[in-house]
Structure 1
Amino acid sequence: MNSPVFTSLVPVVLFIAIGFLAARLEWIRAASVKDLSNLVFMVLAPALLFRTMSTVHIEALDFGPVGIYFAAAALVFAATLALQGFTTLAAARALAYIFGNSLMIGVPLIGLAFGEAGLVTLFTLISVHALVLLTGATVVFELAAARERANTPGQPKPHMLRTVLQAVKNGILHPVPLPIIVGLLFAQTGLVLPAVVDKPLQLLGQALGPLALLLVGVTLAFSKVGPNFRPALRVALVKTLGFPLVLGSLGMALGFGGPALAVLVVTASLPIGANVFLFAQRYDVAEAEVTASIAVSTVMALVTLPVVMFLATRWIA
């Protein structure tokens, strides 16, 4: 086994376990989770994302593997709809198959395993990840919901253009893509952040990884799997193993490889992101299944992530 893979994963497992234990011991209450999440997303994440991208020039970014990532995601999404039908339930499962926790778990994990270069690849993906996937998912959900309402009298017709435009706006004016875009624009000016600004951003960014992973453990402690374990297990298997397999196979078939593709394959194997639950909640479909899937995929990732990381660093990087 490649020892650096496990060395990189040990802090991730440890922080998640500490967060889980803290919640079980009631040191952190369920009512506080939202506040902790806001701190991570609204303060720490933008600081790290902006500072990292503020020194990166656009010509140094490689969008080729990122394009392969979205091609693989589209393939998995379309196959799910084809096999399970064009419904909101199928759309919820399809989104769960391809939308991972790339910020909370991906940033600290990729940073530990692949260093600064790996983070640049990951941030290149993150800068358009939510925008592309969530906007596309919104269109599919709206079309599927409209189809399901077609035979229900008295239901309002969806305003597709307004929904898509709102999704695009929300995808850009967001604490994840926005600091990446602003950081990239700043980098193109050739200016350097003054120390009085750079040092606080550095300290805030360093706090992101530990606190985000603690929050994953806390959230896991408050999640209930219950009778949805079997469907959740199927969804988690596709997300943590099936999607990275499709991505890696497609990338190598098209002649891509190297560390950038390895980073994206590992990213594809991350557990399901919380945004999937927001879609399930909004469209009132599979809420319990999606919640259970997030919990199961997070636990499963403790086993599957080392396997995917080992294979990716051995045969792709």
Structure 2
Amino acid sequence: MNLDHPVLSSLLPVVLLIFIGFISGRAKLVRPEAVRDLSNLVFLVLTQAMLFRTMSSVHLELLELRPVFQYFAVAAALFFAMLMVYGRDSRASVLALAGIFSNTLMIGVPLIGLAYGQEGLVLLFTLISLHALVLLTMATLVLELQMAHEQAAQSGEQRHMLATVLQAMRSAIFHPVPLPILAGLLYAQTGWGLHPVVDKPLQLLGSAFGPVALVLVGITLSQTAIGVRLKEALRLSLVKTVVHPLLMAGVGWALGMRGLHLSVMVVVAALPIGANVFLFSQRYRKEEDTVTAGVAVSTAMALVSVSLVMAVLPLLPTV
């Protein structure tokens, strides 16, 4: 086995981090009641630092946006299709997000860098700069709208649709994910940059996000009845690592995307479920076990799906 292969060298560290968390959970080094506190630490501290720092250097006028917009159009279409399939309720939003949200940082960056070089990374970083902003904000808005509707139905309160939408929008904006993204994006437009005294702590906190989140996935996995959730996790993983890249390749090709742009977008679509979805499910306490199992199963499946995608893409005609 060639451990220097881009797919293996990118995915195996993720598998190892989840495994370390699993062993830690089995050994009861982290108590079950502490998992929620660790999740809050990652979601409310590490994620905030990573998102704000990432967005604080983004200048939209310099980004190559056409392939990225096509990526988000495909992701949004798949999200709403999954929403219909899963029942259009708040739990469906979490499962639909799992079908479209890729692990772009921990796996995507090293994989694209090794496979496609600096030019590929520039395109990937353009996608990453908007990935959480677009997908997490979309999912948050839809989920908040669904939760507001469900709460109104339970209480018997007849709330005007506009009031429900405004409440959902307010909850979606003043939320731990969109807020640092929007704040970072606004700060970036000032051109001031981040002073090293501020930038270094944010960098250290952001760097800790991926490893700690994946270890936390492993800890949660050790406390989850995988057998009960395996069928659902397999279904989610198939959507994420097979349906998503096939749809991306088909739509991208039909819209004239070729070469490096098509390769990077399809490979990113084939990546496993990102840890942000796990934290999203923890935050809302929706489908936590299914998403946890889905992260692990999709990571294993991506060893095959990403390898196949990278083998087939060069065979496609360039015209």
- For the criterion TM > 0.5, the same-fold answer is yes
Match of 1:21 among 20, 23, 28: 23
Match of 1:122 among 104, 128, 137: 128
1:43 to partner: Cα distance: 1.6
Conserved 8 A contact 1:65-1:261? no
Equivalent position of 1:174 in the other structure: 175
TM-score, normalisation: structure 1? 0.77
Equivalent position of 2:108 in the other structure: 110
Q: 1:162 to 1:67 in 2, by over 3 A?
A: farther
Distance 1:279 1:203 in 2: 27
1:171 to partner: Cα distance: 2.5
Conserved 8 A contact 2:67-2:261? no
TM-score, normalisation: structure 2? 0.77
SS at the partner of 1:112?
helix
Please list, as runs of the form range in 1=range in 2, the aligned pairs for 1:51-70 lying within 5 A after superposition.
51-70=53-72
Between 1:195-204 and 1:272-281, the stretch displaced more is 272-281
Match of 1:309 among 306, 309, 316: 306
Distance 2:216 2:183 in 1: 27
Equivalent position of 2:116 in the other structure: none
Q: 1:179 to 1:142 in 2, by over 3 A?
A: closer
Conserved 8 A contact 1:223-1:291? no
What is the letter of the counterpart of residue 191 of structure 2? Answer: G
Equivalent position of 1:96 in the other structure: 95
Between 1:17-26 and 1:238-247, the stretch displaced more is 238-247
- Point out where structure 2 has 5 or more consecutive residues left out of the alignment: 114-120
Q: 1:71 to 1:3 in 2, by over 3 A?
A: same
1:32 to partner: Cα distance: 1.1
Q: 1:295 to 1:231 in 2, by over 3 A?
A: same
SS at the partner of 2:58?
coil
**Cα-to-partner distance string for 1:249-298 (whole Å, 9 max, x where unaligned):** 212221235358625653564337244577785xxxxxxxx445324322
What is the letter of the counterpart of residue 246 of structure 2? Answer: L
Among the aligned pairs, what percent are the same residue?
Answer: 37
**Cα-to-partner distance string for 1:60-106 (whole Å, 9 max, x where unaligned):** 23443443344324433554576x59x446x7457524435848x44
Conserved 8 A contact 1:40-1:208? yes
What RMSD, in angstroms, separates the aligned Cα atoms of the two structures? 3.6
Count of aligned pairs between the two proteins: 300
Please list, as runs of the form range in 1=range in 2, the aligned pairs for 1:14-53 lying within 5 A after superposition.
14-53=16-55
Conserved 8 A contact 1:16-1:214? yes
Equivalent position of 1:253 in the other structure: 254
Distance 2:82 2:197 in 1: 50
